[in-house]
Structure formats: structure tokens, C-alpha cells
A = this chain, B = another copy of it.
């Protein structure tokens, strides 16, 4: 699922995306240096901070293209803000309501005793578990 940066060119090629300067730079930010959860704006700021000239529109385009290509997974936890997870393997999340940060839950740390069958005529696309936590001292 995750491969080092040197493979990004290949990965882009296999899904038919041209290796543009912007996509390569964003891919490097995303996939080099471990698993990450980012918002579009975070990634955009990070790119600008490193002198990568890229527009916010392109960051959005790229995040969606990478999600479609299964390089990323979109996590919906926060009304009005999308997170993208570089870990596309089957796993779930803690969400810190205080800091609005995500933390992966390892696959083995959460399992179901039973799961309902999907309603007739539908297929399960994915099962998302969000454990919402807050700092102990809160209220």
C-alpha cells in the first residue's frame, strides 16, 4: 500500500496521472516520512512553507485524484472539513475533539463480535469506526 518516494512515478503512471511538478511535490509531502492525516489546507500550507508553488485548487484536485487512485483514504469526522489518511489499509480512528486530530487504531485493536448484513440491494463500501475522545479534565 505505501511505497517509498522513488516509486511515486510508477504509481502515478499506473493510474494515468502525469508526473507534474505539483503532484510529485505533494506526493513527497504525503508519502515520505510515515503515515499522516492531513486536511487540504494543512497540506497547502506545508507545501508553501517548503517553497513549493502550488494552488489550493490543485491541492484539492490532487487529494481527490489520489483518493480515487487509492493512494489516500478520505476520513469524515469533522463537519465541514475533510481529512485524508495516507494509510489506506483497513483500520479505524480515534478523533481528539479538542485538537481535531486523528490517530490510527491498529487493525488488531478493534474487532467486531457481530456486524449487520447490508440492506437488500446494497453492498458494503466500508466500515468506519470513529472513537471520539476528549481531554479527561473537560467537563
Contact = CB atoms under 8 A, between A and B. Distances in A.
B135 A118 contact: no
B135 A121 contact: yes
Contacts of A81: 79
Copies in the complex: 2
Contacts of A110: 112, 114-116
| A74, A106, A118: most-surrounded residue (chain B CB, <10 A) | A118
Interface string A118-139: 1101111111111111111010
Chain A contact surface mostly: strand
A105 interface: yes
A97 interface: yes
Contact of A76 (B77, B113, B116, B124): B77
Contacts of A46: none
Interface of A: 74, 76-82, 94, 96-97, 103, 105-106, 109-116, 118-119, 121-136, 138
29 contacts: A76-B78, A76-B79, A79-B81, A80-B80, A94-B118, A94-B119, A96-B122, A97-B125, A103-B119, A105-B116, A106-B116, A109-B115, A111-B113, A118-B131, A121-B135, A121-B136, A122-B133, A122-B134, A122-B135, A123-B135, A123-B136, A124-B132, A124-B133, A125-B132, A125-B134, A127-B132, A128-B128, A128-B129, A128-B132
